[in-house]
Amino acid sequence: MTRIFSGIKPTGHLTLGNYLGAVRHWVATDQRPDEALFCVVDLHALTIEHDPARVRRLSRQAATLLLAAGLSPEKCTLFVQSHVDEHTRLAYLLECTATDGELRRMIQYKEKAAQAQASGDGVRLSLLTYPVLMAADILAYETKEVPVGDDQRQHVELARDLAVRFNQRYGHTFTVPKATYPAVAARVMDLQEPTSKMGKSGGTGPGVVFMLDEPEVVRKKVMRAVTDSGDGGVVYDPVERPGVSNLLDLLAACTDGDPALLAEGYSGYGALKRDVADALVEVLRPVRERHAELAADPAAVEKVLREGAGRARALARPVVDRAYRTIGLLEP
């Protein structure tokens, strides 16, 4: 069995980056509920300035959208992180395994701490310890594979390091996980700032396509996407030509193509943008329509989440209990 686990943070509306980099690949894993676990990681949304009502709303929306994208309770376990205490129980043991130095080296911590400081908010301690809780999310389930976008590389690496260190010190307790990335669109870039990741919370408004954007909005954002200065034509070169390469990546992801080969079919940006817009509209359309249906029946979504939490708890409990014993804590 290849147990897989992944999560998504309700800090903003889900984006095209979330969909193409992660969610779509979760849907494609044809597994059993005890093999594939997907989690709305709401505790992680509290690491930055937050509005309680908005976090609640976004958590519900994220779960609904994951179901709309095609996750099915027959094939996976979908749940909300704060419904399963094992995550925070394990996080403390992993805080006793990690070092201050390795957490301060995390790129996302440095970036987000700088943003929080610049806007006058204090840096929450949980922003520093966030990757430890993420490691707990993963290790509590004996996870083998973590399907994520490229920006989670350093975090999953930490989860591996902590698993190995814990096992070496106290005896074998955790499965050592590995990250898996999509072949294309592992890092979808902001359409207005193609050297930055397309993000839920940090991105530019017009450069971020949201999964629930109306077709006309998607089209407008794509047609206004920044292409690179100079007249180099349509070539795939993510370093020198990040804007046009991002568009080619999006097209490749939607059409199952190869971005460098696709480039050969275009002589101008206009035609490329039109094709990208059409492809994105078609990929997102069924998800948006299904979301509208599911959002009309919140009780059904809540039932899925409640059952999911029950299943997740049953899987995590013995793993976390075992870690409590091996690290030296008395049995209650």
Catalytic residue set: 112, 197, 200
Say if CB 221 and CB 191 are below 8 A apart: yes
Phi-psi region of 171 (alpha: psi -120 to 50; beta: other; left: phi over 0): left
Query: In the complex with ligand TYM, which residue's Cβ is closer, 198 or 281?
Result: 198
Query: In the complex with ligand TYM, which residue's Cβ is closer, 11 or 227?
Result: 11
Binding site for ligand TYM (CB under 6 A): 5-9, 17-18, 21-22, 41, 44, 134, 137-138, 146, 148-149, 151-152, 155, 186-188, 197-199
Task: In whole angstroms, give the CA distance from residue 324 to residue 93.
Answer: 8
Expressed in angstroms, the distance from the first to the final Cα of the chain is 32
Q: Closest approach of Cβ 199 to ligand TYM, in Å? A: 6
Burial class (CB in 10 A: 0-12, 13-18, 19+), 317: middle
Query: In the complex with ligand TYM, which residue's Cβ is closer, 85 or 264?
Result: 85
Query: In the complex with ligand TYM, which residue's Cβ is closer, 110 or 303?
Result: 110
Q: Closest approach of Cβ 331 to ligand TYM, in Å? A: 28
Burial class (CB in 10 A: 0-12, 13-18, 19+), 249: buried
Residue nearest to ligand TYM as judged by C-beta position: 21
Nearest to 145 by CA among 170, 166, 175: 175
Q: Closest approach of Cβ 268 to ligand TYM, in Å? A: 26
Q: Closest approach of Cβ 187 to ligand TYM, in Å? A: 5
Nearest to 208 by CA among 65, 305, 194, 105: 194
